């Protein structure tokens, strides 16, 4: 879309139920109300406002005096530094003490009908038991615990058990391969790993323990593996002395574990994420600030009230799972949903039956799922009673207007608000989003900065702030906020280099964005080498490194190309070593092996959609691969390649064009 085209997009009125009646939203009824609220949270009284929110929403074991210290300039960010706070206590105990029977978790198992409600009282007992088991394993404050678990309610308990004793959890998405898991366990030197016999998704079993075992062959520091018996599979390998069953260990320890006294700036979790370089970064979040961002954004972005039932479909292995499945909803004492299945199992009505069955008030998912379901037709959504839904969230990638309208027309039935929420692993919680009772939406725009946040669009070259409307630049944030990450695990310099040094004084998101005539923000996607496949974040360098590990591969260049279903898809160009022997008449066989190679090193979700075996790659005379050329050719713009004067071997362009055309 051209920048002017953004101005032409119509706004959609706030749905009636968010404007009046009994459901008066926290912030509304119009843009003016948002503007007023926002101005109060970023001006001279910003710190007082954050302090008030921190006291209102969270329980502090010891009060803080200082509200914020440090800055993006110096990279020494701290919030509420004298405060002591326990995230597990905040998310579990205070609600269990108030009403132990209140539902904390709605567990929607893979097989429909096998759901279960877990009360705050029961959650407190499970969290306590796991915390006590971890203590028996010798885990103490500051130790890391790797969590490689399926979507079960016990995985939520695992996070909170770590938080309870001050251990730093590092969740690894169960779609990652053994090798990816091994690297993550080793990078943060976990001595303890939590996993399950198997996971289950869409009627299929995932051999998690076997994958973990393979990873652990290369993890000399791991002493204990706690295994949840989830499917009860008979085929589970066992290393005596190291492996222990979750239920057996839990039965040995008391049902209550006192929460540890922890400083607001103690570590809460690490989450590995992809950046421009091959090696994933362990993004580190700390307790008080992160928890405040999580609770505050759930409350205001989703307009959550105490009896709501929140449904976030993200996996626990990603930041959305951390913030919008675990910490945010539970810090507010509302029910949260653990959805183990897929959007299409056993039928494409699965999401909507889940909403109906549990009367979910909130439903939060990724555009890729919406595109898939839209393609399968609205008949699947028609039979469910979705009248409980008040707010529907979208996250992880730009939502295309067709998908937005489908959500609005068929899921929300024009009664629910839609919020397109933008955030990142690094920002911890939502930083750009409509507020459902105050902002009229434009499909495809994440609209306005969240309370307490101030952004700017910068000229990428000069680093100057772009003023006015109709401008496009890189998205940065000014001033710190509580839930911004603090560092990269064991690599503070990398944190500074990637996020704070590119534009001194600002936090650099890596995304480009446009501001339209109404001041609405349109996120355009990454300006670095990060690609987004179905909302899963990967770096091109990471996939290239995986390909190069294959014996016959000399060089690889990976690009992200638009894809109707997955947002972006991986296209890989590969050259082979001269001595490598293969059958040139059967390139598909080799391509298949290379896809397997990526699955093995990273995981199935990173699989290239297309592999092109070419004799050479377009490079500059200094040897830099010109990915831009391949990007254009894939996009069908091979006749608009622009200036090719720096290209070393111009002939390669035609070879690549022919390859791409042949495989279309």
CB distance 600 to 586 below 8 Å: no
Of 318 and 503, nearer to ligand WTA (C-beta) is 318
Stretch 132-161 residues interacting with ligand WTA (CB under 6 A): none
Does residue 84 touch ligand WTA according to CB under 6 A?
A: no
Pairing of strands 610-613, 199-201: unpaired
Site for ligand WTA in 532-551 (CB under 6 A): 532, 537
How near is the Cβ of 593 to ligand WTA at its closest, in Å?
A: 29
435 part of the interface to ligand WTA, by CB under 6 A: no
Based on CB atoms, which residue is closest to ligand WTA, 108 or 315? 315
Q: By CB under 6 A, is residue 339 in contact with ligand WTA? A: no
From the list 423, 477, 489, 495, which residue makes contact with ligand WTA (rule: CB under 6 A)? 423
Give residues 443-462 in contact with ligand WTA (rule: CB under 6 A).
446
Structure tokens at 51: 């302090």
Give yes or no for residue 425 binding ligand WTA (CB under 6 A).
yes
- Per DSSP, the three-state class of 114 is coil
Residues 6+ apart with CB under 8 A from 586: none
Q: Closer CB to ligand WTA, residue 339 or residue 423?
A: 423
Place of tokens 């009646």: 21
CA 188, CA 384: separation in Å to the nearest integer?
45
Phi, psi of 345 (to 5 degrees): -105, 130
- Do 614 and 625 contact (CB within 8 A), yes or no? no
Decide: is 267 part of the binding site for ligand WTA (CB under 6 A). Answer: no
Which x/- pattern over 504-523 shows residues binding ligand WTA (rule: CB under 6 A)?
Answer: -----xxx-----------x
392-419 in b/e form (b: 16+ CB < 10 A) is bbbbbbbbbeebbebbbebbbeeebbbb
Q: Residues binding ligand WTA: what is the number (CB under 6 A)?
A: 23
Min. distance of Cβ 10 from ligand WTA in angstroms? 19
- Closest contact distance (angstroms) between CB of 523 and ligand WTA is 4
| Between 119 and 323, CB nearer to ligand WTA | 323
Residue 315 binds ligand WTA (CB under 6 A): no
- What does the alpha-carbon distance between residue 464 and residue 485 come to, in Å, rounded to a whole number? 24
Residue 481 binding ligand WTA, by CB under 6 A: no
Q: For residue 348, with 0-12 CB atoms within 10 Å meaning exposed, 13-18 middle and 19 or more buried, which class applies? A: buried
Residue 337 in contact with residue 106, Cβ under 8 Å? yes
Angle at alpha carbon of residue 535, lines to 530 and 540, rounded to 5°: 25
Q: H helices of 316-366, where? A: 319-321, 328-331, 350-358
**Cβ distance to ligand WTA smaller for residue 312 or 601:** 312
Tokens of 224: 């204990």
The two structure tokens encoding residue 277: 């370089």
| Nearest position to ligand WTA, beta carbon | 425
Interaction with ligand WTA in 586-625: which residues (CB under 6 A)?
none
Contact pick of 183, 303, 340, 397 for ligand WTA (by CB under 6 A)? 397
- Nearest CA to 487 out of 346, 290, 209 is that of 290
Q: Which residue has the tokens 């885990």?
A: 139
Stretch that binds ligand WTA, among 104-112, 313-321, 484-492, 607-615 (CB under 6 A): 313-321
- Residue 265 engages ligand WTA in binding (rule: CB under 6 A): no
- Residue 348 or 396: which CB sits closer to ligand WTA? 396
Which positions lie near ligand WTA, rule CB under 6 A? Answer: 273, 318-320, 395-398, 420-425, 446, 509-511, 523, 525-526, 532, 537
């Amino acid at each position: 879309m051209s920048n002017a085209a953004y101005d032409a997009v119509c706004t959609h009125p706030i749905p009636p139920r968010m404007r009046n009646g009994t459901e008066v939203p926290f912030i509304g009824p119009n843009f003016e109300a948002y503007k007023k609220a926002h101005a109060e949270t970023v001006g001279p009284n910003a710190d007082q406002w954050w302090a008030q929110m921190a006291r209102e929403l969270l329980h502090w074991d010891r009060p803080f005096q200082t509200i914020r210290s440090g800055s993006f300039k110096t990279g020494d960010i701290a919030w509420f530094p004298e405060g002591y706070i326990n995230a597990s206590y905040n998310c579990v105990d205070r609600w269990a003490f108030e009403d132990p029977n209140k539902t904390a978790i709605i567990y929607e198992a893979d097989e429909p009908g096998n759901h279960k409600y877990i009360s705050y009282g029961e959650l407190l007992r499970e969290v306590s038991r796991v915390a006590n088991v971890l203590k028996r394993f010798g885990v103490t404050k500051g130790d890391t615990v790797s969590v490689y678990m399926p979507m079960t309610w016990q995985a939520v308990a695992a996070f909170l058990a770590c938080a309870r004793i001050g251990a730093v959890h590092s969740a690894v998405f169960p779609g990652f391969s053994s090798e990816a898991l091994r690297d993550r366990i080793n990078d943060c030197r976990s001595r303890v790993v939590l996993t399950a016999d198997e996971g289950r998704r869409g009627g299929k079993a995932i051999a998690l323990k076997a994958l973990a075992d393979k990873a652990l062959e290369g993890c000399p520091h791991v002493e204990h593996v706690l295994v949840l018996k989830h499917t009860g599979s008979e085929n589970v390998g066992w290393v005596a002395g190291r492996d222990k069953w979750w239920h057996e260990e839990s039965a040995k320890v008391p049902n209550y574990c006192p929460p540890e006294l922890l400083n607001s700036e103690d570590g809460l979790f690490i989450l590995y994420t992809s950046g421009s370089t091959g090696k994933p970064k362990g993004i580190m979040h700390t307790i008080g600030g992160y928890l405040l961002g999580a609770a505050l954004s759930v409350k205001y972005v989703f307009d959550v009230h105490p009896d709501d039932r929140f449904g976030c479909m993200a996996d626990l292995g990603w930041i959305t799972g951390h913030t919008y499945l675990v910490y945010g909803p539970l810090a507010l004492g509302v029910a949260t949903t653990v959805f183990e299945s897929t959007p299409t199992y056993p039928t494409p009505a699965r999401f909507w039956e889940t909403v109906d069955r549990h009367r979910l008030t909130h439903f939060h998912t990724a555009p890729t799922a919406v595109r898939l379901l839209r393609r399968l037709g609205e008949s699947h959504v028609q039979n469910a009673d979705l009248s409980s839904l008040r707010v529907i969230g979208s996250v992880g990638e730009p939502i295309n207007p067709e998908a937005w309208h489908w959500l609005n027309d068929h899921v929300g039935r024009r009664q629910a608000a839609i919020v397109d929420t933008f955030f990142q692993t690094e920002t911890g919680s939502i930083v750009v989003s409509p507020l459902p009772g105050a902002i009229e939406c434009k499909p495809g725009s994440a609209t306005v900065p969240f309370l307490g946040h101030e952004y700017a669009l910068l000229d990428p070259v000069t680093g100057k702030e772009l003023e006015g409307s109709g401008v496009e630049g890189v998205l940065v944030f000014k001033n710190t906020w509580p839930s911004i990450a603090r560092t990269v695990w064991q690599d503070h310099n990398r944190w500074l280099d990637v996020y704070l040094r590119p534009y001194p004084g600002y936090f650099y998101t890596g995304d480009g964005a446009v501001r339209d005539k109404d001041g609405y923000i349109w996120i355009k996607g990454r300006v670095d080498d990060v690609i987004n496949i179905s909302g899963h974040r990967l770096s091109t360098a990471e996939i290239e490194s995986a390909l190069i590990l294959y014996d016959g591969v000399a060089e690889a260049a990976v690009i992200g190309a638009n894809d109707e279903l997955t947002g972006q898809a991986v296209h890989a160009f590969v050259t082979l070593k001269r001595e490598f022997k293969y059958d040139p008449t059967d390139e598909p066989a080799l391509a298949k092996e290379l896809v397997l190679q990526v699955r093995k090193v990273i995981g199935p979700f990173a699989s290239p959609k297309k592999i092109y075996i070419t004799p050479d790659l377009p490079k500059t005379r200094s040897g830099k691969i010109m990915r831009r050329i391949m990007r254009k050719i894939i996009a069908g713009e091979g006749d608009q390649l622009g200036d090719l004067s720096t290209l070393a071997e111009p002939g390669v362009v035609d070879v690549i064009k022919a390859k791409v055309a042949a495989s279309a």
